[in-house]
Amino acid sequence: MTHHESIRTAETEWAHASQEAMRSARRFGVIGAAAAPIEAVLVVALADALASGVWRYVIVGVVQLLVTVPMAMLMARESVAQQLHSQELARDLERQLTEAVDTAEREAERRAAQVRRQDFETRFANALEMAQDEPEVLGAVERALAATLPDRPAELLLADNSHAHLIRMAVSAPSSEVSECPVDSPDHCPAARRAQVQQFSDSEALDACPKLRDRARGRCSAVCVPVSVMGRTVGVIHATGDPGAVVDDTTVADPSTLSKLAGARIGLLRVM
C-alpha cells in the first residue's frame, strides 16, 4: 500500500470515528431525555409504595442516585473509549503524513543530486572535449576536483609510459595543503590494484592503507578513486580530510565520474 493510499484510509477511518462519536453523543442524549420522565415516575411510585413522609424523599433520592450514577458511568466510559479511538487514529494519520513527507523529501533530495551529477558530467565532458592536449585535460581535472571535493585537498596520480611509476599530475589545492600520497606505482596502490573506490576514515585504523601513515600533516581520512585508461588502471585520485570524516555515496559519485571521463579522454589523446 502506498503512502497516499494509507493516508486516504486513515482519513476515512478518522471521519468514520468522528461520525460515530457524534452518533453516540446523540444516542445517549435521546436515551437520557426519554428515560428521565419515566425514571422520575417510577421512582416516585416506588417511594410512595415503600414509605411516606420524610422517608419517602430519602428513598426518592437514593433510588435516583442508584439509577443515575451507573448511567453516567456508562456514558462516560463510552465517551472515553470514543476519544481514545479518535486519538489513536489521529496519531496514526500524523505518523503516516510524517512518513509521506519524509519520503517526499528524500526523493526530492535524490532527484536534486541526480540532476546535479548529470549537470556536472555534462559540463566536465564538454570541458574535456574542448581540451586539445593532456595539460589542458589536467587543468580541467584540477578545476573539477576543486568543485566536487571542495573541503578535501585532492591530487591525481598517473602512471608514466612504463606504467611502473606514479606521477603527480594535478592537485586541487595549494601544495602546502595537499597531503601527498607516497605511493610510487599502480601495483602498490590498493585502490588501483583492486580497481574500486577505497575509503579510509582514519589513517591510524587497523585496516587503513599503509600509505596513509606517518603523513607530515598527521592523522587523516582518505578517499581513493582508481583511474583507468583504455581498460587498464593506471592511476588514482587521492583526497584527504579530517580523521573520522567519511564521504557519502552521493559525493563519491562525482570523483568516480571524473575518473571515468578523464581516463577516457587521456587515453584517447595518448593514442593520437
Which residues, in sequence order, are bridge partners of residue 157? 168, 236
Which one has a higher pLDDT value, 42 or 144? 144
Query: What CA–CA distance (Å, rounded) separates 68 from 74?
Result: 10
Average confidence (pLDDT) over 56-61: 61
Q: Is the distance from CB of 256 to CB of 197 less than 8 angstroms?
A: yes
Which one has a higher pLDDT value, 4 or 243? 243
- What are the backbone angles phi and psi of residue 195, rounded to the nearest 5°? 60, 40
Query: What CA–CA distance (Å, rounded) separates 159 from 33?
Result: 96
Report pLDDT for 15.
62
Which one has a higher pLDDT value, 32 or 259? 259
Share of the chain above pLDDT 90, in %: 29
Give residue 260's identity as a one-letter amino acid code: K
Is residue 2 predicted with pLDDT exceeding 60? no
Average confidence (pLDDT) over 124-130: 93
Query: What CA–CA distance (Å, rounded) separates 223 from 246?
Result: 8
pLDDT band (50, 70, 90) for residue 25: low
Burial of 185 (0-12, 13-18, 19+ CB in 10 A): middle
Average confidence (pLDDT) over 238-252: 87
Query: What CA–CA distance (Å, rounded) separates 178 from 146?
Result: 12
Which one has a higher pLDDT value, 155 or 106? 155
Q: Encode pLDDT of 217-234 as tens digits.
A: 888 999 999 999 888 888
Q: Encode pLDDT of 5-18 as tens digits.
A: 555 665 566 566 56
pLDDT band (50, 70, 90) for residue 248: confident
State CA 73 to chain mean position distance: 48
Report pLDDT for 125.
93
Per-residue buried b or exposed e for 58-67, using 16+ beta carbons within 10 Å of the residue's own CB: ebbeebeeee
| Sequence-ordered strand ranges (E) for 141-231 | 154-159, 166-171, 198-200, 221-229
Q: Is the distance from CB of 189 to CB of 225 less than 8 angstroms?
A: no
Q: Which residue has the cell 470514543?
A: 82
Query: What CA–CA distance (Å, rounded) separates 136 from 73?
Result: 87
Q: Mean pLDDT: which of 45-54, 92-101, 262-271 is highest? A: 262-271
Which one has a higher pLDDT value, 208 or 214? 208
Report pLDDT for 157.
93
Average confidence (pLDDT) over 100-128: 86
Average confidence (pLDDT) over 110-135: 90
E strand or H helix at 253, and its extent? helix 249-271
Average confidence (pLDDT) over 74-91: 72
pLDDT band (50, 70, 90) for residue 111: confident
Residue 223 DSSP class = E
Which one has a higher pLDDT value, 97 or 41? 97
Give the helix ranges, DSSP H, for 54-155.
Answer: 54-130, 134-148
Burial of 210 (0-12, 13-18, 19+ CB in 10 A): exposed
Is residue 188 predicted with pLDDT exceeding 60? yes
Which cell is 220 given?
587523516
Report pLDDT for 34.
55
Mean pLDDT of the chain: 79
Average confidence (pLDDT) over 51-74: 64
Report pLDDT for 224.
94
